[in-house]
Structure 1
Amino acid sequence: MVDINKRKVIRTSTISLSLDYLLRGQLSFLNNVYEVIAVSGQNEHLEKVAVREKVRIVDVQMQRAIKPLRDLLSLWKLFRLFQKEKPLIVHSITPKAGLLSMIAAYFAGVPIRIHTFTGLIFPSKTGILKRILILMDKLLCLFATNIYPEGNGVKEDLINYKITSKPLKVLVNGNVNGIDKDYFNPALYSSEDKIELRKELGILENDFVFIFVGRLVGDKGVNELIAAFERFSNEVKKIKLLLVGPFESDLDPLSSSTLGIIKSNRNIISVGFQPDVRTYFAISTALVFPSYREGFPNVVLQAGAMGLPSIVSNINGCNEIIIEGENGVIIPVKDGDAIYNAMKKMIDNDFIRNRMQQNSRLMIVSRYEQQIVWDAILAEYKRLEKNV
């Protein structure tokens, strides 16, 4: 039953999968203090949010790509929703939801308009598209009252590109939701569990398993990863590459040569999108995540909490979570040779790899435990509320 004395907080994202996975548990926590309403496109992910988080949901379809007519329709629907609900706070994540929500909330008279930048798209783009994306982020910040970069790297990019002159605040050590150390815990999986899954996937007991988790697209560095692994697997026996994530053929598809290698290389195992990635981390030896751009990647946090060292590209978020030689290896962006050399280092140097494995979970849990992040967000809401 809704408490009529609670003030309303509306959380928005472009696609409901972001609310489902990026904010798992957070909405339920905040709903103890505020009446939380989750807004995104209606599908099974938004339904899961309603059931799990016990919050009200509203269907407003938003497009990830630039679609002027559909974007205007979404903007109008958000404006009408905010007018009707009269929330204290509208808090958005993801780029398009941020732009549309902040504009709509401004004209609807919402007093606290928050956007969390979980990543920036424009630094990896060029030409007219880059200029358009920069303009969109500047507009977003213009209509927002408070801006929170997810990490210090994102904060520096916002400053360097002069996206806004408003204060920028990173909460705690960064990340939008923190890590649930009890959920992402390697101790949950017995040797028998791991042997059974390895057997199902055709992974032998002594195989060294590199894992990639995420969308199988060019921007995630998958083309370079596959080329490096193809080269490596021709030289080294008993290695596997486990790909956990969906292919996307619309926005940023993989090259035809990459797709051909994935199909033909018997040491590459692609299992598609998985709602629970923990078992796949549990049977793996190291994460490889050569993305071109991130805000503060949950995958690297999750892998670390599961005790895996990581090979990551030198980008925002990744280079904050991973400390070179302590819990992983940092490599240049878009560098297939660097991926190859880092994988070789992981396999060849048992002492370094074992030390990184021992450090991984402790270093993640000590800095990014979930309850600390949630408490910081709630405290920030309360601080802002005092000034309204």
Structure 2
Amino acid sequence: MPPKLIRITTVPLSLEKLLEGQLSFMNDHYEVTAVSAEKARLDRYGRDNRVKTFHVEMTRAITPLKDMKAVLKLYRFLKKENPLIVHTHTPKAGIVGMLAAKMAGVPVRLHTVAGMPLMETTGTKRKILEQVEKFTYSLATRIYPNSRGLKEIILKEGFVEEQKLKILGKGSSNGIDTEYFDPRRYSEEDKTALRKEWKITEADLVFIFIGRLVSEKGINELVSAFNELQLKHPDVSLLLVGPFEEELDPLSPSTLKLIENHPKIITTDYQIDVRPFLAISDVLAFPSYREGFPNVVMQAGAMRIPSIVSDINGCNEIISNEINGLIIPAKSGKSLYTTMEKLVTDVELRKILSQNSREMICEHYERKEFWEILLKEYKTLEQEISKN
């Protein structure tokens, strides 16, 4: 029997998107179980990806009593299963999974850091999240920041000693499938039909955003900048692909009103397959306040779409300014407007950035190569355990 590998995320969406295909690949080398909340969706994920599942209810908010219940349920499961490796992703899954794994005596306890919500919080909540982060890292045997910038933040904040940290490959949690995200899959006829379906005229230059429609993703600034831009340049559209999350990080009322009423702002809600929307777009506008190593920027690049991104970790590692995209200061609506207008008016620059985009992603972030890097890491740790 192969050794057991437990992979944990707070919600199944992270398994579906953040780790797409990865657990199925690892299932050829380990007996893999995916652990997450939302039982029905988790069960469907298990069937679709041919991996075992175990349901543990977790929340993305601070909920100590529910969290302790989750730890105890997971601890009992790990004691029964006796896995070699527990590997967690996302903050809540990290603290729950690492604590349960430590209590259960799991020898290899790994946590990937793909972003830190605490970076956009202050006061008591910030202090609580800092302590949770430190405690999570102390329980793990190795920590994988998925970008150089995140590693620097972790060291600067003093969350853990450097010898516990390792970046896999060039960064990312899963790389990008450049065969799947390939613009050649969409003909001109396909794109014309898609634009017609979403009521986008052929003449329009399309800015696209993909992700949660929340304040910390820079949506307030993006919608405001676009509204101003469209008054001056009528032939532009903004495509917002993703769900609203009013309960956690709501947009301003003025932004919501513009999204609802602006004839050139199109919303699609959550989409399993974002490729059709990338295929009919010209520029990714991604003015996020914080990221780990954003998949959407890699996806856009693979689809030959240049990006406007904030000067934050992850984004400024995937994008090289004026080579495959443009980098702007975070939280600057003025810079965002100026840069969006630049790509509307400077057709030659847009063409150059587009030509470079796919090549840079294929060179550095091919998904199958990342899987092999992670598998090698697992096998190395496995050998170290067998020697002891």
TM-score (normalised: structure 1)? 0.98
Q: Equivalents in 2 of 1:314, 1:234: separation in Å? A: 27
- Residue 131 of structure 2 is aligned to residue 135 of structure 1: yes
Q: Equivalents in 2 of 1:78, 1:297: separation in Å? A: 29
Q: Equivalents in 1 of 2:72, 2:215: separation in Å? A: 33
Q: Which residue of 2 aligns with 1:160?
A: 156
Q: Which residue of 2 aligns with 1:338?
A: 335
Residue pair 1:220, 1:293 contacting (<8 A) in 2 also? yes
Q: Which residue of 1 aligns with 2:146?
A: 150
Stretch of structure 1 that moved more, 312-321 or 123-132: 123-132
Stretch of structure 1 that moved more, 47-56 or 15-24: 47-56
1:303-352 residue CA offsets vs partner (Å, 9 max, x unmatched):
00011000000111000000000000000011100110110111111111
Q: Which residue of 1 aligns with 2:43?
A: 47
2:63 alignment partner AA: K
Q: Secondary structure at the match of 1:91?
A: strand
- Residue 53 of structure 2 is aligned to residue 33 of structure 1: no
Query: Which one of 58, 68, 74 corresponds to residue 78 of structure 1?
Result: 74
Q: Which residue of 2 aligns with 1:171?
A: 168
Query: What aligned pairs does 1:217-236 form with structure 2 within 5 A after superposition?
Result: 217-236=214-233
Q: Equivalents in 1 of 2:43, 2:366: separation in Å? A: 27
1:86-121 residue CA offsets vs partner (Å, 9 max, x unmatched):
000000000000011001100100000000001112
Q: Equivalents in 1 of 2:337, 2:44: separation in Å? A: 39
Query: What aligned pairs does 1:53-92 form with structure 2 within 5 A after superposition?
Result: 53-92=49-88
Q: Secondary structure at the match of 1:80?
A: helix
Residue pair 2:141, 2:164 contacting (<8 A) in 1 also? no
Q: Equivalents in 1 of 2:234, 2:17: separation in Å? A: 36
| Structure 2 unaligned residues grouped into runs of 5+ | none
Q: Equivalents in 2 of 1:253, 1:114: separation in Å? A: 32
Q: How many residue pairs get matched?
A: 384
Residue pair 1:20, 1:48 contacting (<8 A) in 2 also? no
Residue pair 1:212, 1:242 contacting (<8 A) in 2 also? yes
Q: Equivalents in 2 of 1:312, 1:45: separation in Å? A: 32
State the 1:45 CA deviation: 3.5
Q: Equivalents in 2 of 1:190, 1:268: separation in Å? A: 24
- Residue 6 of structure 2 is aligned to residue 10 of structure 1: yes
State the 1:44 CA deviation: 4.6
Query: What aligned pairs does 1:1-388 form with structure 2 within 5 A after superposition?
Result: 5-165=1-161, 166-388=163-385
Q: Equivalents in 2 of 1:214, 1:357: separation in Å? A: 21
- Structure 1 runs, 4 residues or longer, greater than 4 Å off: none
Q: Secondary structure at the match of 1:387?
A: helix
Q: Secondary structure at the match of 2:116?
A: coil
State the 1:161 CA deviation: 0.3
2:342 alignment partner AA: K
Residue pair 2:284, 2:305 contacting (<8 A) in 1 also? yes
2:54 alignment partner AA: V
Stretch of structure 1 that moved more, 310-319 or 18-27: 18-27
| Structure 1 unaligned residues grouped into runs of 5+ | none
Q: Equivalents in 2 of 1:167, 1:9: separation in Å? A: 20
Residue pair 1:42, 1:58 contacting (<8 A) in 2 also? no
**Distance change in 2, residues 1:60/1:322 (3 Å):** same
Q: Secondary structure at the match of 1:10?
A: strand
2:261 alignment partner AA: S
Q: Equivalents in 2 of 1:17, 1:60: separation in Å? A: 14
**Distance change in 2, residues 1:125/1:42 (3 Å):** closer
Q: Equivalents in 2 of 1:43, 1:373: separation in Å? A: 29
1:224 alignment partner AA: E
Q: Equivalents in 2 of 1:202, 1:372: separation in Å? A: 39
1:359 alignment partner AA: N
Q: Secondary structure at the match of 1:301?
A: helix
Q: Secondary structure at the match of 1:296?
A: coil
Residue pair 1:185, 1:305 contacting (<8 A) in 2 also? yes
1:287 alignment partner AA: L
1:114 alignment partner AA: L
Q: Equivalents in 1 of 2:75, 2:220: separation in Å? A: 41
2:172 alignment partner AA: N
Q: Equivalents in 2 of 1:297, 1:346: separation in Å? A: 22
Q: Secondary structure at the match of 1:343?
A: helix
1:162 alignment partner AA: G
1:125-170 residue CA offsets vs partner (Å, 9 max, x unmatched):
2111111111000000011001110010110000000000142110
TM-score (normalised: structure 2)? 0.98
Q: Equivalents in 1 of 2:148, 2:164: separation in Å? A: 13
